[in-house]
Structure 1
Amino acid sequence: MTAQPPSLRARITAVAVAAAVLATVAVAYTLHAAGRTQPAAAASEFGLDAGHVYFRSSEAGAGRVARTATPSGKGPRTTGGPSCERFYAAGGTAVCLQRRSGIPPKSYALVLDGRLKEKRRIALTGIPNRARVSASGRMLSWTMFATGDSYAGSSFSTRTSILDTRTGYLIKNMEEIPLTVDGRRYHSPDINYWGVTFAEDDNRFYATVSTKGKTYLIQGDMKKWAAHTLRTNVECPSLSPDNTRIAFKKRVRKGTSDPWRLYVLDLRTMREHPLAESRNVDDQAAWLDDDTLAYALPGEDGRKQDIWTTRADGEGKPNLLVTGGTSPAAVR
């Protein structure tokens, strides 16, 4: 006996039931993800105070901004800042890059005041990666991965933004900045910028540009809105407080397995030297003072990441500053 195909009414009912089930699953997932989301705002008593190192905690209160009791990291830590994927602070201003759960996920750059209260929110596309604030607190920058999630390979694309908090002017993507490479005006569709760091005049800045398989250190000028290359093989530059040196990631081997080591470049002589940290560092190092750099490494004893320090002159040995943390920023 041949089975009869289901009636039109039965087919419609089946489709409706399936749609209802999928909708229920989606709502349940969203609510579950929202339930796991850390508080987006800072506690009322928590703010930027001099003499502390601030960082993103990956331990208690994972994702929230915390601070050390002392610049050396000794003593109890305090967690009370907003939830961020990347964080940086200087000059009474902070930037917090957030990625909110949802379908699809949403990303934001939050501009925060000295009490870590939100002053401005900017919707972003992509995965948060780098963030910086100038010493005065006026200039902010952040980098998002538009595609990919690592600089180690070649299949990635970035969007780097610059915000002038005094004027409110936002450069959503600096890829259109006029660029001079080795003395000649340069154009290429594969250009990517990342890792902006600002000079104390809030006009000069440095960053990495990649094109045709090479990375360059660039020096940019905000007023002229132009940039030129200084040298090759420099990634994630970080300008020292005295504005004379740049800490950076140097590619020391090909491929994606442990490709980088930290170096410092003297801008007056253009001479470089390696730091005592011999492990692979995939971070934009932060200067705690003119002599010390901080950076994140994969954690030990099951922790996701830890923050280490090393001397800028290349001497000594690395020291563990914070367990379970990333995005260090010294507030002076």
Structure 2
Amino acid sequence: MKARLWITLVAAVVLVAVAVGYTLHSARRVTATGAALTLDARALLFRAPDGRVTARSPDGQVTTGDRACDRFSAAAGTGLCLVATPGAVPTTTGIVLDGHLRETRRLQLPGIPSRAQVSPTGRFLSWTTFTTGDSYAASGTFSTATGILDARTGTFVVNIENLQLYVDGERYHAPDINVWGVTFAADDNTFYATLASRGRTYLVRGDFAEWSARTVRENVECPSLSPDGGRLAFKKRVGTGWRLYVLDLSTMAEHPLAESAEVDDQAVWFDDATVGYGRAGTVWTVPADGSGAPTRLVDGSSPAPHNGPNA
């Protein structure tokens, strides 16, 4: 009887200890989440595996917020969070965020989230959604809607396919035009994007003030402009998949990056020497000059291009 009582008391003590330990662990976990998260230029911002916006400081401290996104981008204290709304006709909610991840504007968009981008100055925000199909993998079977918001003037374009398009210098019209993967220059006017039509894919250079875009070259998808404005990281179709490349805009010379695996993402620049991207649920970086090897950073996706650890 005494032995049984002693065992019961020991078990109770163990259970209490476990409960206290779990409570302390939970408390520590909670202190790393919530309102402390900001769009700090000294932190790497990304989307955690559970969808929540997360920051990793240069010393390795990780802070996870309460804001969950399906796609995310941030620059210059402005964020863009895309959230899918399932249904018979799927839609996307675009949420514009301030430096403390507070909502400043909400946009109702067609389709399923695919790409998000904020310009270096934070003035322009762009997104791409799939309105039919769910990937770029099967050419000709998908349709996209790409929009732009001018946060300064409030100008909101749901789909930029009404751009004045020029292919090889000639005004271009076609019923199957798709434009996606916008990237912005620092002048708050120039942008690059992908144009697909009639089985061909082009890089186009756009002028926001003129509302026009002209082809630069073929076989460039999801471009990302370097901070110095002189190069584009992009994905290039090689065989049946995509490889990451960098294009020098002054010479039109291109070279592959050291990532040998297929990457279906719009790459970002951490600085003029480093390209980042998401692959298989992990954020990676690789040297922009084609040397070295990929470096794993964190589990997650949607790394913010101008908020990297070297900012």
| TM-score above 0.5, yes or no | yes
- Aligned partner of 1:134 in structure 2 is 119
Q: Does 1:278 align with 2:260?
A: yes
- Aligned partner of 2:63 in structure 1 is 78
User: Aligned match of 1:150 in 135, 143, 146?
Assistant: 135
- Aligned partner of 2:205 in structure 1 is 219
Query: How far 1:105 moved relative to its partner?
Result: 5.0
- Aligned partner of 1:51 in structure 2 is 42
Q: Helix, strand or coil for the counterpart of 2:161?
A: helix
Q: Helix, strand or coil for the counterpart of 1:284?
A: coil
Tell me, in whole angstroms, the C-alpha distance in 2 between the residues paired with 1:296 and 1:221: 29
One-letter identity of the residue aligned with 1:319: T
Deviates more, 1:138-147 or 1:93-102: 93-102
User: Aligned match of 1:194 in 180, 190, 194?
Assistant: 180
Q: Does 1:313 align with 2:289?
A: yes
Return the TM-score normalized by structure 2: 0.85
Count residues in correspondence: 274
Q: Helix, strand or coil for the counterpart of 1:175?
A: helix
Query: How far 1:57 moved relative to its partner?
Result: 0.5
User: Aligned match of 1:123 in 69, 85, 108?
Assistant: 108
| Percent of aligned pairs sharing the same letter | 57
Tell me, in whole angstroms, the C-alpha distance in 2 between the residues paired with 1:226 and 1:102: 34
Whether contact under 8 Å (2:93, 2:106) holds in the other structure is yes
Deviates more, 1:241-250 or 1:45-54: 45-54
Deviations 1:38-89 (A, max 9, x none): xxxx93222111211111110xxx111001122xxx6242211511000000
- Which residues of structure 1 form unaligned runs of 5+? 1-41, 299-304
Which runs of structure 1 show a deviation greater than 6 angstroms over 4 or more consecutive aligned residues?
none
Compared CA separation, residues 108 and 271, structure 1 to 2 (3 A) = same
Query: How far 1:228 moved relative to its partner?
Result: 0.3
User: Aligned match of 2:99 in 114, 117, 135?
Assistant: 114
Deviations 1:191-234 (A, max 9, x none): 10100000000100000000111110000000000110000000
Q: Helix, strand or coil for the counterpart of 1:327?
A: coil
Tell me, in whole angstroms, the C-alpha distance in 2 between the residues paired with 1:239 and 1:118: 27
- Which residues of structure 2 form unaligned runs of 5+? 1-32
Q: Does 1:96 align with 2:81?
A: yes
One-letter identity of the residue aligned with 2:248: D
Q: Give the root-mean-square deviation of aligned CA atoms.
A: 1.4
Return the TM-score normalized by structure 1: 0.80
Query: How far 1:106 moved relative to its partner?
Result: 4.2
Query: How far 1:104 moved relative to its partner?
Result: 5.9
Query: How far 1:327 moved relative to its partner?
Result: 0.2
Query: How far 1:103 moved relative to its partner?
Result: 6.5
- Aligned partner of 2:214 in structure 1 is 228
One-letter identity of the residue aligned with 1:266: D
Whether contact under 8 Å (1:130, 1:143) holds in the other structure is yes
Tell me, in whole angstroms, the C-alpha distance in 1 between the residues paired with 2:61 and 2:243: 31
Tell me, in whole angstroms, the C-alpha distance in 2 between the residues paired with 1:81 and 1:205: 32
Q: Helix, strand or coil for the counterpart of 1:161?
A: strand
Deviations 1:11-53 (A, max 9, x none): xxxxxxxxxxxxxxxxxxxxxxxxxxxxxxx932221112111
